[in-house]
Chain A
Amino acid sequence: MIQIDHVSKTFAGTQALADCTLTIDDGAFFVLIGPSGCGKSTLLRTINGLIAPDTGTIRVRGKDIATEDPERLRQSIGYVIQSVGLFPHWTVAANIAAVPQLMRWDKGKIARRVDEIVALLRIDPALLPRYPHQLSGGQRQRIGVARALAAGPDLILMDEPFSALDPVSRVELQAEMRRVHAESKTTIVMVTHDVGEALSLATTLAIMRAGRIIQIGTPAAVVGAPADDFVAQFLGGPERFLHLLDVLSVGAAMSAEPPSGAMPRIATSASLRAALSLMMAEGAQALAVGDGDGASVGTLRLDAIVAASHA
């Protein structure tokens, strides 16, 4: 989907991006993470041409974006920012319809699409005629995401989209994004400084520092084998493995061995954190793993959880 090739950028003497090269696959949930000022937002904004690199090329869907019409390019890419930036003089419905309107879809198609998006993101239809100032922060960012998804882009860029939200709204919207990604196979590139958010959402992770990409890999690979001390420290030092409990599911760590009748039960889709918590609560060393219909499909042992991050 995206090839970034030897991209560098300098702002007024300070190097924001230093020779960044990476590839983002179709359907990836790619998370750029690093301390503030590391250049992650700058890198994100080069992808839709909001920032032009000094050197290097960026290809989106195989085409060098420097040769493309920037407005067309941006209309084809969803864009969500931390401060949301809804148009204050437009209703929620008009905000969601902004990009289809720009692309001159006909009215009926726009109306149908707004209904679809409202259903997909579980937005209360009563909000549609309201204005942004009448919404809560969480509602606003939900509309911001809806606006980014409205024209059905195959790529969405998100710049710290949930950092300014209260914890409840944040967890809700993270779950929403995970679901939208799983259902639509849209490629998502997200910037965050929240390690937990990054590890729980990413299929691939890139860690940046001082304009450079230090390491790229799956959350488990990066946590298991950090490239250097900085990465290890940034991910949480010796405690970084605990993040994997959220990332890995029971299904990934269980064995096919049939459980004995007395074991507490847990679902295959549950996180290892939930499994570990259940073991601690029940004083058990092993759990019976059940599928959706209640049939037992295997056993999860404590040592399997410990071994899971090295699988």
Chain B
Amino acid sequence: MSALLSALATPDARRLAIRNPVLLLLCVVATIALVAAGFLSTAPNRLADGVSLPLWQAPPALAVLVAACLGGLGCLAIRDARMSDWAALGLAAGLAVALLLTASFFAKTLIVAGHPAQRQALGPAFWIAFGVAGFAMLDAMQRLALGFPARAACLFLLLGLFAGLASAGTFDALSLTREFVSHRTLFVTALLRHIALVGAALVVSILVCAPLIAVVRRGGRTRAAIYSVLSLLQTIPSIALFGLLIAPLTFLAGHVPLLRSLGVSGLGVTPALIALVLYFAFPLVRMTDAAFSAVPTEVADAARGLGFGVRKRFVAVDLPLALPVLLSGLRVVTLQAIGLATVAALIGGGGLGTFIFEGIGEYALDLVLVGAIPVILLALAADFAFRLVLAAVETPR
């Protein structure tokens, strides 16, 4: 035992040395989860408590496939092999697909004819192992130092595979799919509302913040005042801020008919939008300020001294030099907005948060996931889009 420990501790290549401790840890976590926790749970209906089923009760061929992928990853974590990072990437992707297939076909074997309300939900072991597969893929990409196009290609390959399997009806027996299918029309509306809410909040924030930024950039005492007010707004918890707006807006809508006719009320989109805008004011103003402060003073001085006018200087010098920082700031704010907009559902603002809160209310975890997974995917998509734009505007320095 002590010999094994000292072998683990010394990086001597000829003895047992761990090549990739991160991957090994991930594999151990996934193994423990698959052995000890439920892979799938089956219940007679949506509200009843389910019976937890472990992986080894799944169709043996598929369970073996999962175990093989995981075992292979574990070996790659310990031993050095040729192209081991590529192999790890392939095995991790394989593990993700194997887990999906196993869960789907396992669920199909559990269907009892004549019980349409019966549910097969994904268990904790599935989610942990699926997460491990994702992290293992990221780790392999990191080690391979894959560029942005290669990562995007991997992502699209997997998404395409997933879409193909989904359209073939592979996942139909899973309760997550059922919840999704039964909420399909509502889902599209909620998704569009979510995107619209985020988009509108960003546009309005930018419009509101532009004059604030102009004042802040001028410096002086107002700058400090604006920053302290904006940072104070940031400290209000989001749910409280949404709630706080109900009373004043209801009052306004009740007393100013014009506002009411414009659709302003204490509940719904208006307070949601206002709360989001209040939230984004601080990061937006500070990041824009930082972006323009990053323009070297000597470059600004040279531009002025050579006879660039105010507008020309802004368009030709300040903006292009600030743009990368500006866009990465906007990226952070957008990702934050996609997450925060879920809370808007609490006050009737709609969006994907509707499913999350409805699911929590009904104790239907799958319905929560119908709201939460698209939020994550939306954030990833936005991140992807921003990275594309950033790569395009990045100038040589």
Chain A interface residues (CB < 8 Å from chain B):
45, 48, 50, 70-76, 79, 81, 83-89, 98-99, 102, 131, 133, 144, 147-148, 157
Report yes or no: A102 in contact with B395, Cβ–Cβ below 8 A. Answer: no
| A131 to B308 CA separation, bound complex (whole angstroms) | 20
- The listed residue (B306, B320, B396) touching A131 by CB distance below 8 A is B396
List 28 A-B pairs, Cβ < 8 Å.
A71-B308, A73-B307, A74-B306, A74-B307, A75-B306, A79-B305, A81-B298, A81-B305, A83-B298, A83-B301, A84-B298, A84-B302, A85-B296, A85-B298, A85-B303, A87-B302, A87-B317, A88-B296, A88-B299, A88-B395, A89-B320, A89-B395, A89-B396, A98-B306, A102-B306, A133-B396, A133-B397, A147-B306
Most chain B CB neighbours (cut-off 10 Å) among A79, A87, A157: A87
B312 at the interface (CB under 8 A from A): yes
Provide the bound-state CA to CA distance between A286 and B301, in Å: 52
Q: CA separation between A83 and B296, bound complex, in Å?
A: 10
Chain B residues, Cβ within 8 Å of A133: 396-397
CB-based contact A102/B307 at 8 Å: yes
CB neighbors of A among B283-315 (8 A): 296, 298-309, 312
- Bound CA–CA A72/B309 (angstroms): 9
Provide the residues of chain A in CB contact with B306, threshold 8 Å. Answer: 74-75, 79, 98-99, 102, 147-148
The complex places the Cα of A86 from the Cα of B296 at a distance, in Å, of 10
Tell me the complex Cα distance, A50–B331, Å: 37
Q: Once the chains bind, are A85 and B302 in contact (CB under 8 Å)? A: yes
Closest residue of chain A to B304 (Cβ to Cβ) is A50
8 Å CB contact of A102 from B300, B312, B321: B312
A79 touches B308 (CB 8 A): no
B299, B309, B312: the one contacting A87 at CB < 8 Å is B299
A98: chain B residues at CB < 8 Å are 306
Bound CA span A75–B309, Å: 10
Of residues A73, A74, A85, A99, which shows the largest number of chain B Cβ atoms within 10 Å of its Cβ? A85
Residues from chain A with a CB closer than 8 A to the CB of B301 are 50, 81, 83, 85
Shortest distance from the beta carbon of B239 to any chain A beta carbon, whole Å: 43
Instruction: In the A-B complex, list the 5 residue pairs whose CB atoms are closest, starting with the nearest.
Output: A85-B302, A74-B307, A75-B307, A83-B298, A79-B305
* Cβ-defined contact, A85 with B312, below 8 A: no
**What separation, in Å, do the CA atoms of A74 and B302 have in the docked complex?**
11
Q: How far is the CB of A51 from chain B (nearest CB, A)?
A: 11
Interface string of B85-126 (1 = CB under 8 A from A): 000000000000000000000000000000000000000000
Of A83, A99, A148, most buried by chain B (CB within 10 Å of CB) is A83
Chain B residues within an 8 Å CB radius of A74: 304-307
Which partner residue on chain B sits nearest A133 by CB separation? B397
> Considering the chains assembled together, what is the distance between the CA atoms of A88 and B303 in angstroms?
12
- Is A50's CB under 8 angstroms from B305's CB? yes
Interface size on B, residues (CB 8 A): 20
A72, B302: Cβ atoms closer than 8 Å: no
Determine the residue in chain B with the shortest Cβ distance to A147.
B306
Instruction: Give the residue name and chain of the B residue nearest to A134 (CB).
Output: B396
Question: What's the Cα separation between A5 and B243 when bound, in Å?
Answer: 66
Residues of B within 8 A of A48 (CB): 305
Q: A74-B307, A79-B302, A81-B301 are in contact. List 7 more A-B contacts (CB 8 A).
A: A73-B307, A75-B306, A79-B306, A85-B298, A88-B296, A88-B395, A102-B308
Q: Note all chain A residues with C-beta closer than 8 A to B296.
A: 85, 88
B 353-397 binary contact with A (CB < 8 Å = 1; else 0): 000000000000000000000000000000000000000000111
Q: How far is the CA of A89 from the CA of B301 in the complex (A)?
A: 16
* Contact with B307, one of A72, A84, A87, A144 (Cβ below 8 angstroms): A72
CA–CA, A271 to B302, complex, Å?
A: 36
- The residue in chain A whose Cβ has the minimal distance to the Cβ of B305 is A79
Give CA–CA (A85, B301) in the complex, Å. 7
B306-342 residues at the A interface, CB under 8 angstroms: 306-309, 312, 317, 320-321
Say which residue of B300, B307, B321 sits within 8 Å of A71 (CB atoms): B307
A81 neighbours in B (Cβ, 8 Å): 298, 301-302, 305
Give the residues in chain A near B395, CB-CB below 8 Å: 88-89
In the bound complex, what is the Cα–Cα distance between A79 and B298 (angstroms)?
Answer: 12
Known contacts A71-B308, A71-B309, A73-B307; A88 and B321 CB within 8 A of each other? yes
| A144 to B44 alpha-carbon distance, docked (Å) | 79
With both chains docked as a complex, state the minimum distance between the C-beta of B43 and any C-beta of chain A, in angstroms: 60
For residues 254 through 291 of chain B, which have their beta carbon under 8 Å from a beta carbon of chain A?
none
In the complex, how many angstroms separate the beta carbon of B108 from the nearest chain A beta carbon?
A: 58
Complex Cα–Cα for A76 and B306 (A): 8
Complex CA gap A81/B304 in Å reads 12
CB distance from B327 to the nearest CB of A (A): 14
Which of chain A's residues have a CB closer than 8 A to the CB of B304? 50, 74
User: A267 CA to B303 CA in the complex, in Å?
Assistant: 44
Q: How far is the CB of A70 from chain B (nearest CB, A)?
A: 8
Measured CB to CB, the nearest residue on chain A to B310 is: A71
- Whole-angstrom distance between the alpha carbons of A45 and B306 in the complex? 12
A86: chain B residues at CB < 8 Å are 299, 302
Q: How far is the CA of A131 from the CA of B320 in the complex (A)?
A: 15
Compute how far the CA of A131 lies from the CA of B397 in the bound complex, rounded to whole angstroms: 7
Closest to A103 in B: B307
Q: Which of B301, B302, B397 has the most CB of A within 10 A?
A: B302
Distance from B173 Cβ to chain A, minimum over Cβ atoms (Å): 56
Please give me the residue from chain B that is nearest to A95 by CB atom. Answer: B302
Residue of B nearest to A78 (CB): B306
Q: Which residue of A lies closest to B299 (CB)?
A: A85
Beta-carbon nearest neighbor of A89 in chain B: B395
Would you give the shortest CB distance from B338 to chain A, in whole angstroms? 31
Please give me the residue from chain A that is nearest to B316 by CB atom: A87
Closest to B323 in A: A89
| Bound complex: CA A75 to CA B298 (Å) | 17
The CA-CA distance from A144 to B303 in the complex, in Å, is: 12
Q: Give A79 to B306 CA distance when docked, in angstroms.
A: 6
Smallest distance from the beta carbon of B347 to chain A beta carbons, Å? 45
CA–CA, A28 to B298, complex, Å?
A: 27
Contact A87 B303, beta carbon cutoff 8 Å? yes
Select from chain B the residue with minimum beta-carbon distance to A75.
B307
- B309's nearest neighbour on chain A, judged by CB, is A71
Give chain B nearest CB distance to A286 CB in angstroms.
50
